[in-house]
Structure 1
Amino acid sequence: MAYQISDTYDSIDQAMRLMRSSMKGMPQRYRYLRHYDELRRSVAVLLVLLEEAGPWMDETREAEKSTTRAKQMLAAVR
């Protein structure tokens, strides 16, 4: 699961870099700078949350594996 979060993080980062480079070549970009800044802030919050979600997803997957293993062992004992 963490690799999916990592891929998502990288894709968002790449999209933001592309947006920044396209903003540089834009005529009258000052009209859109406020929206661009708001988007950057929102995406930054999203990226921080994604970074924090990685370890949690790994723990959840490990817990599910343990639970499945415990159920299999219990079924074998019965």
Structure 2
Amino acid sequence: MSYRVSDTYDGVDQAMRLLRRSMKGMPQRYRYMKQYDDLRRAVAVLVILLEEATPWLEETDKAKTATTRARKMFAAVR
């Protein structure tokens, strides 16, 4: 199960790199910087939650710790 999470993490990372490169080439990118920054923050939270969910999906002893951390981070974002 964890290989799927790591594949998802790699795909999100690659998409964000592509978005950053394309933003550099935009002629009037200042108009979209607020949305871009909001997206970056949301994706960063998503990636961290994916990393924290990996042990839980593997059903190891680290699952309880990872779940507790993920709940705290998710509550902080709300």
TM-score bin, normalised by smaller chain:
0.7 to 0.9
Match of 2:58 in 1: 58
User: Unmatched 5+ residue regions in structure 2?
Assistant: 61-78
Residue 6 of structure 1: CA displacement? 0.1
Match of 1:13 in 2: 13
| Paired residue total | 60
Match of 2:4 in 1: 4
Match of 2:38 in 1: 38
Across the aligned residues of Structure 1 and Structure 2, the Cα RMSD in angstroms comes to 0.9
Q: Which has the larger radius of gyration?
A: 1
- Distance across 2 between alignment mates of 1:54 and 1:2: 6
Residue 53 of structure 1: CA displacement? 0.4
Runs (4 or more) in structure 1 with deviation over 6 Å come to none
Q: Percent identity?
A: 72
Residue 35 of structure 1: CA displacement? 0.1
Match of 1:74 in 2: none
- Taking CA–CA contacts closer than 8 Å with sequence separation of 6 or more, which of the two structures ends up with the larger relative contact order? 1
